[in-house]
Structure 1
């Protein structure tokens, strides 16, 4: 007898089947659809589809929006300029909305102050 008694033979078959089962589960998880770990391509959404961000300004152009974003950054408010389906928007977190609107309502500083 090659394996001695029957228990070691049965144990080796169970180990092989267990390893095969683990490989099948891993491959099933790897090639399943709809649960990709790769990030999706970003898409343009409406101004209300940006989670915790709220729009505080609707600039006419991206250049004007970038100037407003820089004005907010100079005022220590984190801001983002995004292209939405409604046009460019300057977005901030909800908690910073009141401060951002106050900063944007103030006249812009002279150009040499921003340097």
Structure 2
């Protein structure tokens, strides 16, 4: 018996095995609630955000988003963090003073 008579079946068989392995991997990766990649974000206190510094503590998320957009429009990288104390607008420390001035209405955004 020679393997030369089966050479036409080797290519499609390998392709089917590869597709089956990919299907199993993707099904495992995207299964609901069991992914190793996806995790639900947890709320922490405002001092658990690394280098970011709180520049504003608005009472609602809508107000916080308006303030964040104001800072972004002024060229300051800002983020809205849902902390355990409520929403906080945070920026990097080197831009915190300017961000506070802009939010207080005392400063003008850089040109």
TM-score by length of 2: 0.59
**Counterpart for residue 75 of structure 2:** 76
**C-alpha RMSD of matched pairs (Å):** 2.2
**Counterpart for residue 13 of structure 2:** none
**Counterpart for residue 28 of structure 1:** none
**Counterpart for residue 40 of structure 2:** 41
**Counterpart for residue 56 of structure 2:** 57
Select the structure of larger CA radius of gyration.
Answer: 1
1:40 Cα offset (Å): 4.5
Count of matched residue positions in the alignment of Structure 1 and Structure 2? 74
- CA–CA distance in structure 1, aligned partners of residues 93 and 37 of structure 2: 29
- CA–CA distance in structure 1, aligned partners of residues 38 and 92 of structure 2: 23
| Unpaired stretches in structure 2, ≥5 consecutive residues | 1-35, 107-111
Matches within 5 A, 1:1-115: 38=37, 40-106=39-105
TM-score by length of 1: 0.58
Runs of 4+ with >6 A deviation = none
1:74 Cα offset (Å): 1.3
